[in-house]
Chain A
Amino acid sequence: MKVLTANTLSDGIAVWYSGSDWLRSINNAEIAADADAESRLTTIGALAYANNEVVDVNLIDIVVKDGKPHPTRLRERIRAEGPTIDYAGKSAAWGI
């Protein structure tokens, strides 16, 4: 299973495609469960890239845990959840 992710062009923040919009959370990302769905997401990503909405567009592997997409690679989990460290501005930035 895969979801579509990218970074917004204007501020660079990581986003995931929800089926209608690019959101800053992976939780509501549209999940592609077969090749056709993957192909559709790829097309949506390419279009958003061409329209200068997002950059660095990728389909990433996930599994579903507790009803939510969970990236299989650590890199993508860190992208989704933010740095794993308590950096100076983390509390404010992530609403902790």
Chain B
Amino acid sequence: MYRYDEFDRTFVSARVAEFRDQVERRLSGDLTEDQFRPLRLMNGVYLQLHAYMLRVAIPYGTLSSIQMRKLAHIARVYDRGYGHFTTRQNIQYNWPALKDMPAVLAELAEVEMHALQTSGNCIRNVTADHFAGVAADEIADPRPASEILRQWSSIHPEFSYLPRKFKIAVTGAPHDRAAIQVHDIGLQLVKNDKGELGFVVYVGGGQGRTPMVAKKIRDFLPEQDLLAYSTAILRVYNLEGRRDNKYKARIKILVHEMGTEELRQAVEAEFDQLKDSELKLPESDIRAIEAYFAMPNLLERAEGHGKLAADRKAHAGFSAWVNQNTVAHRHPDYRAVTVSLKPIGGIPGDASAEQMDLIADIAERYSADELRISHEQNIILPHVALADLKTIYDLLLPANLSTANSNLISDIIACPGLDYCALANARSITVAQKISERFADLGRQRDIGELKLKISGCINACGHHHVGHIGILGVEKRGEELYQITLGGSADENTSIGEIIGRGFGPDEITDAIETVVETYLKHRLSADEKFLDAYRRLGPAPFKDVLYAQSVAESMTNASL
């Protein structure tokens, strides 16, 4: 894992001291709210419906057990005993007091964490594949590039006042688990014919009110050109991006209005000026950062193969969990484990301080002291020996952390929605809970197969509904919550934006409607091997619409005749 150097430590400490002074001046009245708001936002402090909210960055979703324990400690001491892991691999606290914020940031700095650039029109926390450095299908670990981008983008003077926020995601594998094509810049690590590392570069993806799939503007960018090319993109965006209308200010609109080819040419022209400048990354620097992310020294644990087989035979629940919530590791004696933060009927992404402490203890003892937060709001134990899987399962089970639902319909992404968020129009969590309860039977979920259901409580799409196989968007209509369904979205290497299927459903109707969609899929799929998304892409919306709306027409006719 990356460790702060003296520069990082000094810089983060200085920012804590600066914000302490700003908070003191605000509380004493020396700063007005208008003066203070942008300052607090630069430090991750929002004001939500019930209280302030602090968003803490977890760079590329990687953290140690000490850091996780600190997150638990903050939840316990400064909040109400829990935190919410987000779709950008961050954690949000929903109840911290402004007066405590400097103390919280100082505690975070002790474990090399901060809340910088988790808000505002700057380059936000860089996200990456949560199986980075582990996945069997990986070309290279995306975290060194992510860390280089983090260092470059932190209080970058030229890019601190962009037209709008700017999000970068990196994947090191051909199978995209980092949703790179719905980011402002998406980077995919590849090797060229000579075996050299570089990036496929995508630009202009995003969700929100104008969802767009990113456009590929480079097939191969040599890794030493990462910062020069990123600077070129940001420079074109900073100069040409719209500032007259915040809804048209993201780079996706610039790409759309300028055209991909023209934008690419502008970026390449800028890059030509920059590529031999000081932005060219020295080989030694890249390798030095890479060394921080070296695979931990994992002992040979070949005894695990036999033990796992025996444990699976003896415990059906454990066996199902291994099937669903663990994936292949580069080391054959190990697997990566997804700790589900989606218990049936639970709040997606929430973890109590006790759960965080437990997971930290498990990581320290059984996962080389490493953890990941996934953008799907789960926690990953990246390096677990097969021999230890049963022990871990037994530890997670009583803490309600062993739900075997990774990638199934109850593994729902949901934003905080109207239960917390000042921007939301409708609740998300309650919808997630009801759907999760409706499909509580894990056997039924497994029969349905991979199904990514994502819920947002407003058009800003923090719940990624546009790229859900099934997406749900909450809106407010005549003072009531209403939920629109989109189908066919995806955030992997074949990214697509879901199509709105028809008129929305009320809070009491949406669970039935989702069940209707699922049953329609089951009825039409060619076999159990045809996943929901594949079936939808083959069938199109018609069969789903027919059933969803024929039913409601029939119901209204029945009601009218009563």
Q: Do these two chains interact? A: yes
Residues B479 and A12 in contact, CB atoms below 8 Å apart: no
Chain B residues, Cβ within 8 Å of A52: 26-27, 29, 32-33
- From 94 to 115 in chain B, residues with beta carbon under 8 angstroms from any chain A beta carbon are 94-99
Chain A residues, Cβ within 8 Å of B476: 74
Chain B residues, Cβ within 8 Å of A83: 50, 419-420, 429
Assembled-state Cα–Cα distance A47/B502 (Å): 48
The listed residue (B29, B50, B97, B427) touching A14 by CB distance below 8 A is B50
Assembled-state Cα–Cα distance A32/B433 (Å): 38
- From 63 to 96 in chain A, residues with beta carbon under 8 angstroms from any chain B beta carbon are 72-75, 78-79, 82-85, 87-90, 92-93
Output the nearest chain A residue to B426 by Cβ-Cβ distance: A74
Contact with A along B403-436 (1 / 0, CB 8 A): 0000000000000001110001001011001000
Output the nearest chain A residue to B416 by Cβ-Cβ distance: A83
In the complex, whether B52 has a CB less than 8 A from a CB of chain A is yes
Total B residues in contact with A, Cβ cutoff 8 Å: 38
Assembled-state Cα–Cα distance A10/B51 (Å): 10
Assembled-state Cα–Cα distance A49/B481 (Å): 31
The listed residue (A14, A72, A88, A89) touching B49 by CB distance below 8 A is A14
Contact with B along A8-38 (1 / 0, CB 8 A): 0111111000000000000000000000000
Residues B80 and A84 in contact, CB atoms below 8 Å apart: no
Assembled-state Cα–Cα distance A9/B481 (Å): 30
The listed residue (B51, B352, B419, B420) touching A12 by CB distance below 8 A is B51
B516 CB to closest chain A CB (Å) equals: 25
- From 18 to 61 in chain B, residues with beta carbon under 8 angstroms from any chain A beta carbon are 26-27, 29, 32-33, 47-52
Residues A85 and B481 in contact, CB atoms below 8 Å apart: no
Assembled-state Cα–Cα distance A93/B50 (Å): 12
A56 CB to closest chain B CB (Å) equals: 6
Assembled-state Cα–Cα distance A67/B370 (Å): 55
In the complex, whether B347 has a CB less than 8 A from a CB of chain A is yes
Assembled-state Cα–Cα distance A41/B133 (Å): 58
Residues A9 and B479 in contact, CB atoms below 8 Å apart: no
Residues B419 and A85 in contact, CB atoms below 8 Å apart: yes
In the complex, whether B138 has a CB less than 8 A from a CB of chain A is no
Chain B residues, Cβ within 8 Å of A9: 26-27, 33, 98
A75 CB to closest chain B CB (Å) equals: 6
Assembled-state Cα–Cα distance A56/B33 (Å): 9
Residues B27 and A88 in contact, CB atoms below 8 Å apart: no
Residues A93 and B51 in contact, CB atoms below 8 Å apart: no
Residues A78 and B419 in contact, CB atoms below 8 Å apart: yes
B36 CB to closest chain A CB (Å) equals: 9
Assembled-state Cα–Cα distance A21/B95 (Å): 22
In the complex, whether B333 has a CB less than 8 A from a CB of chain A is no
In the complex, whether A55 has a CB less than 8 A from a CB of chain B is yes
The listed residue (B50, B350, B479) touching A73 by CB distance below 8 A is B479
Assembled-state Cα–Cα distance A92/B350 (Å): 17
B457 CB to closest chain A CB (Å) equals: 11
Residues A11 and B99 in contact, CB atoms below 8 Å apart: yes
Chain A residues, Cβ within 8 Å of B26: 9, 52
The listed residue (A10, A72, A78, A87) touching B479 by CB distance below 8 A is A72
Residues B80 and A88 in contact, CB atoms below 8 Å apart: yes
Chain B residues, Cβ within 8 Å of A87: 80, 82, 94, 347, 350
The listed residue (B51, B352, B418, B429) touching A7 by CB distance below 8 A is B51
In the complex, whether B506 has a CB less than 8 A from a CB of chain A is no
Contact with A along B472-483 (1 / 0, CB 8 A): 000010011100
- From 311 to 362 in chain B, residues with beta carbon under 8 angstroms from any chain A beta carbon are 347, 350-353
With A11-B51, A55-B33 given, name 20 new contacts (CB 8 A).
Answer: A9-B33, A11-B99, A12-B98, A14-B49, A52-B32, A74-B480, A78-B419, A79-B50, A83-B50, A83-B419, A84-B419, A84-B430, A85-B419, A87-B80, A88-B82, A88-B350, A88-B352, A88-B353, A89-B79, A93-B80
User: 17 pairs across A/B with beta carbons < 8 Å?
Assistant: A7-B47, A9-B26, A9-B27, A10-B27, A11-B98, A12-B96, A12-B97, A52-B27, A52-B33, A74-B480, A75-B424, A78-B49, A85-B429, A87-B350, A88-B350, A88-B351, A92-B80
Q: Across chains A and B, which 7 residue pairs bring their CB atoms closest together, nearest first? A: A89-B80, A88-B82, A12-B52, A11-B97, A89-B81, A83-B419, A88-B352
